[in-house]
């Protein structure tokens, strides 16, 4: 294609884009409510959510208290979700449930409020506030709609979110262990067990409690060692009795033997 022809084509494309942008800006400033609403819905249906969102926002104060307000707000909330702005989506879906409590879409909006928070939940190492908010929202949904077809899906999301919190808490316990704070580690692992009794790692946590108690005893002053080794033995015994098929029981036997040997040694020294 000749350079002049290419330049002309480029200029035409730019002109069309500029014209389109100018047309959209004029529409945003327009006072023609019906035209703006029709165009906003058209943009929404074409998945041009940002344009639809801006038009919906400009219409909110005008359409409030009219029959169009509910369907507009419904799409307005979804436009945020479809743009990936899950924080704003959660806020507006929550608003929808409060603004339109008798709406046929109320259950869906309540579910989407939780789902938006779920999407906004960060990785386990960051602040867990949004994760806990998502769990709370989903639990409220299940309580409010126990017969909903969405309950199974919601419970799956709750399990995923709780698993994320479990990882965070178990990593905190592991950190105590790694820096040699063995008493704190045993308490933290016990807390993880209490908080997540459905976990598939309960036997592992019990092992780390027992090993932490063993190392805590070993690092203690002589006067406290015997009592603390006995605590470790009790923890290893719990591991053996309650989780006999655990892969950690074999290593637990080694520390059980070490603890027993140390107790014998301490007793012999006191003779």
Residue 33 has pLDDT above 90, yes or no: no
Percent of the chain with pLDDT over 70: 90
Burial of 157 (0-12, 13-18, 19+ CB in 10 A): buried
* Closest to 186 measured CA to CA, from 214, 162, 163: 214
User: Residue 95 domain-assigned?
Assistant: no
CA distances to 81, 189, 221 from 231, rounded to whole Å, are 52, 15, 15
User: Residue 254 domain-assigned?
Assistant: yes
Residue 21 has pLDDT above 60, yes or no: no
User: Residue 262 domain-assigned?
Assistant: yes
Query: What's the pLDDT tens digit per position in 35-53?
Result: 889 999 999 999 999 999 9
What DSSP letter does each residue of 117-145 carry, written as one string?
HHHH---TTS--HHHHHHHHHHHHHHHH-
Residue found under tokens 């208290």: 65
User: Residue 76 domain-assigned?
Assistant: no
Residue 270 has pLDDT above 80, yes or no: no
pLDDT band at residue 271 using 50, 70 and 90 as cut-offs: low
Number of domains in the chain: 1
Average pLDDT rounded to a whole number, residues 112-125: 91
pLDDT band at residue 24 using 50, 70 and 90 as cut-offs: confident
Residue 32 has pLDDT above 60, yes or no: yes
Residue found under tokens 């100018």: 22
Q: What pLDDT does residue 214 have?
A: 95
User: Residue 269 domain-assigned?
Assistant: yes
Q: What pLDDT does residue 153 have?
A: 97
User: Residue 22 domain-assigned?
Assistant: no
Question: What domain range is 206 assigned to?
Answer: 180-271
pLDDT band at residue 126 using 50, 70 and 90 as cut-offs: confident
Average pLDDT score, the chain: 90
The structure tokens listed for 49 are: 């959510």
Contact status, residue 260 vs residue 236, Cβ threshold 8 Å = no
Query: What's the pLDDT tens digit per position in 219-247?
Result: 999 899 999 999 999 999 999 999 999 99
Query: What's the pLDDT tens digit per position in 175-218?
Result: 999 999 999 999 999 999 999 999 999 999 999 999 999 999 99
Query: What's the pLDDT tens digit per position in 132-162?
Result: 999 999 999 999 999 999 999 999 999 999 9
The DSSP letter of residue 149 is T
CA distances to 44, 74, 78, 83, 85 from 48, rounded to whole Å, are 6, 16, 12, 9, 14
User: Residue 265 domain-assigned?
Assistant: yes
The structure tokens listed for 214 are: 């063993």
User: Residue 199 domain-assigned?
Assistant: yes
């Amino acid at each position: 294609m000749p350079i002049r022809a290419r330049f002309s084509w480029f200029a035409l494309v730019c002109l069309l884009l500029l014209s389109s942008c100018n047309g959209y800006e004029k529409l945003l400033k327009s006072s023609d409510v019906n035209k703006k609403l029709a165009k906003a819905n058209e943009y929404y249906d074409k998945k041009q959510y940002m344009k639809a969102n801006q038009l919906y926002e400009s219409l909110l104060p005008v359409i409030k208290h009219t029959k169009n307000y509910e369907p507009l707000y419904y799409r307005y909330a979804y436009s945020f979700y479809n743009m990936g702005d899950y924080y704003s989506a959660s806020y507006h879906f929550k608003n929808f449930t409060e603004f339109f409590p008798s709406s046929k879409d109320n259950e869906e909006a309540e579910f989407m409020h939780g789902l938006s928070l779920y999407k906004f939940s960060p990785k386990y190492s960051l602040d867990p506030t949004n994760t806990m908010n998502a769990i709370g929202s989903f639990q409220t949904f299940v309580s409010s709609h126990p017969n909903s077809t969405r309950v199974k899906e919601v419970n799956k999301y709750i399990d995923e979110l709780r698993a994320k919190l479990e990882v965070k808490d178990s990593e905190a316990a592991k950190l105590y262990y790694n820096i040699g704070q063995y008493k704190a580690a045993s308490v933290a692992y016990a807390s993880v067990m209490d908080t997540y009794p459905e976990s598939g790692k309960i036997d592992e946590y019990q092992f780390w409690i027992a090993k932490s108690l063993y190392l805590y005893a070993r690092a203690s002053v002589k006067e406290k060692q015997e009592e603390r080794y006995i605590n470790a033995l009790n923890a290893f015994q719990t591991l053996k009795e309650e989780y006999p098929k655990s892969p950690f029981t074999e290593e637990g036997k080694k520390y059980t033997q070490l603890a027993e040997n140390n107790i014998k040694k301490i007793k012999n020294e006191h003779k």
